[in-house]
Amino acid sequence: MMKLRARVIGAVVLGVTVLVTWILYEELSSGRTDIRHHHSIEGSMDYNVLYGHQKLQHQLQQVDLKSIRDIRNTMDINSNSQEKDYVTKNSTVLFDIAVERLLDRLELLTSFGLSRDLLRQTSMVILTRQLGGIARKRSRRLPWPQNYGSDTSWTNYRKFHHNARAAALYDPDDPAIDGLLNDMATKPFKYLEMMEKGTELKLLIQYFDGTKAVFKPMRWPRDHETLPNHFYFNDYERHNAEIAAFHLDRIFGFYRVPPVTGRFVNMTSEIFMLAGKALKKTFYVSPIGNLCFFGECSYYCDSRHSFCGVGDVIEGSLMTWLPEPPVGDRDRWRSPYRRSYSKFRKAEWEVDDTYCEGLLLDDQLLYERFMPDLIDAHIFDFITGNMDRHHIEVFLHLRNDSCPIHMDNGRGFGKTKVDEFSILAPLIQCCRIRKSTFLKLTKLYVGPEPLSELLDESLRNDPLYPILTSGFYDAVDRRVLHVLRTVARCLTNHSIKDVFIDDPF
């Protein structure tokens, strides 16, 4: 009897939830609150409108957080998940009416080839091997000299370089990649030097077998969130963001982030002893007895920007070094969606909603995969929360076929509660998305495992696990849904043919 009553109450709650969601959705999709307007609105500096925009952000969050949660749990489909670990227990499966309608529509269109049932039954691993797999395997390698033949005695590092291809930095099933992660995490360092490039302290590490990696030491504890009044360009990098970004990229089947592992490093024996004179001089003991250093460079190297260990152990991320020039030469494109890097100036895309239309017409600027890659990059950055993608780097010798290489991910995972919609500007304004990317997002949406669970499973392999605080698990699932909602919104005034890019990747 009690059970029956609980069920009836459950059903009523579910009904009301769906109704409220639907009403809110109708509200939101009635042009007035179209998110596409918000860039020009912000540019006009009209505080009433600005306030309206904040309200919209707020409403969007409300819809996702309250009314659409957990439909599947309510329906008892996930009942065996209780036995699993903490993420599963805390994670919520999100559900959204606008997205459901879009998927209904696409499922009816047989030529699109979408089936939610099939997606559910296919694991993300299988799906990502299928989508774009042939194009990745067929794409070119770097122009290695003839005598640089592959050899089983090679180091994992050398294999990684040799096997890198235009359409993917590595093959997810290449055992050399896990080997390389393990090498970087465990083998002794031989040399190290300060890296000159960039605005954050980084060390270039060399191992005895010739492997090289970029070490970014930990600056913040995991639960330090970006300060709300800080501009994105004042934010510091996070070593754990570099690690999480590598795993996220691999789960998505992009393979555009060079392999990254975490490592506990002994500051005395593994950094100080190997450091040059100038770097050695910057080591000191803090008032609470921890060993610290601030590096040797012109403008950010002082004791206010120190890196301190716990005792003399510091955590950090190690990212595999890419092939050297001339074979590994890279081109650096200025991103058309780069930010202004000024408190006082807006970028063009922030004030002009038709910005993308101009871009798409400009065939001088673009080669075929440029826009789909840029939009993928921004979807990826939206999920991590990284606002700092100012350049797109590609291999010079693989130009026009080369995927972008996503090296600088340290400014992601700074805020658990804020979803930064401006990162999605290329998708919002261009209303285009690679079909494979859309299918992968849809897979994460229909489950059974949400992205948070796959991410947690993958991060468990890192020596520094836990890498992310639990707030980010909710955030990544919520952001997957936001991307799909944005696509659904695109479909209200663009055709299916225009929105989905059906390329081989």
- Residue from 270, 353, 408, 456 in contact with Mn ion (CB under 5 A): 408
CA-to-CA dists, residue 326 to 143, 323, 359, 409, angstroms = 9, 9, 31, 25
Contact code string over 256-285 relative to ligand ATP, x by CB under 6 A: --x---------------------------
Task: Give yes or no for residue 376 binding Mn ion (CB under 5 A).
Answer: no
Task: Give yes or no for residue 446 binding ligand ATP (CB under 6 A).
Answer: no
Task: Give yes or no for residue 197 binding ligand ATP (CB under 6 A).
Answer: yes
Task: Give yes or no for residue 198 binding ligand ATP (CB under 6 A).
Answer: yes
Closest approach, Cβ 388 to Mn ion, in A, equals: 5
| Torsion sign across C-alpha atoms 381, 382, 384, 387 | positive
Question: Could you count the other beta carbons within 10 Å of the beta carbon of residue 458?
Answer: 17
Determine phi and psi for 72, rounding to 5 degrees.
Answer: -70, -40
Q: Kindly state the DSSP code that residue 225 receives in the 8-state scheme.
A: P
* Total residues interacting with ligand ATP, rule: CB under 6 A: 15
Task: Give yes or no for residue 183 binding Mn ion (CB under 5 A).
Answer: no
Q: Which helix (H) or strand (E) holds 350?
A: helix 348-351
Name the catalytic one among 183, 312, 381, 388.
388
Q: Which is nearer to ligand ATP, 180 or 480 (CB)?
A: 180
Shortest CA distance to 61 belongs to which of 32, 94, 107, 91? 94
Residue 437, burial from CB neighbour count under 10 angstroms (0-12, 13-18, 19+): buried
Task: Give yes or no for residue 334 binding ligand ATP (CB under 6 A).
Answer: no
Q: Which is nearer to ligand ATP, 133 or 323 (CB)?
A: 323
d(CA 151, CA 158): 10
Task: Give yes or no for residue 214 binding ligand ATP (CB under 6 A).
Answer: yes
Q: Which residue is nearest to ligand ATP (CB)?
A: 198
The answer to whether residue 388 is catalytic is: yes
26 belongs to an annotated ligand binding site: no
d(CA 308, CA 220): 10
CA-to-CA dists, residue 473 to 69, 247, 414, angstroms = 14, 13, 13
Please choose, out of 168-176, 264-272, 318-326, 420-428, the segment that lies near ligand ATP by the rule CB under 6 A. 318-326
d(CA 410, CA 240): 8
Task: Give yes or no for residue 180 binding ligand ATP (CB under 6 A).
Answer: no
According to CB under 6 A, which residues from 107 to 136 bind ligand ATP? none
Please choose, out of 198-206, 290-298, 348-356, 444-452, the segment that lies near ligand ATP by the rule CB under 6 A. 198-206
Closest approach, Cβ 59 to ligand ATP, in A, equals: 34
449 belongs to an annotated ligand binding site: no
Dihedral in degrees, nearest 10, Cα atoms 355, 357, 361, 364: 30
Residue 335's SS3 state is: coil
The overall longest dimension of the chain from CA atoms, in Å, is 78
Please choose, out of 348-356, 404-412, 449-457, 482-490, the segment that lies near Mn ion by the rule CB under 5 A. 404-412
Question: Which residue's structure tokens are 């993917």?
Answer: 168
Shortest CA distance to 101 belongs to which of 499, 500, 491, 505? 491
Please choose, out of 52-60, 378-386, 402-410, 473-481, the segment that lies near Mn ion by the rule CB under 5 A. 402-410
Task: Give yes or no for residue 171 binding Mn ion (CB under 5 A).
Answer: no
CB distance 424 to 382 below 8 Å: yes
Binding residues for ATP: 216, 237, 393, 408
Q: Give me the residues that bind ligand ATP (CB under 6 A), please.
A: 197-200, 214, 237, 258, 319-322, 388, 407-408, 410
Q: Give me the residues that bind Mn ion (CB under 5 A), please.
A: 408
Binding residues for Mn(2+): 237, 408
Binding residues: 216, 237, 393, 408
Enumerate the active-site residues.
388
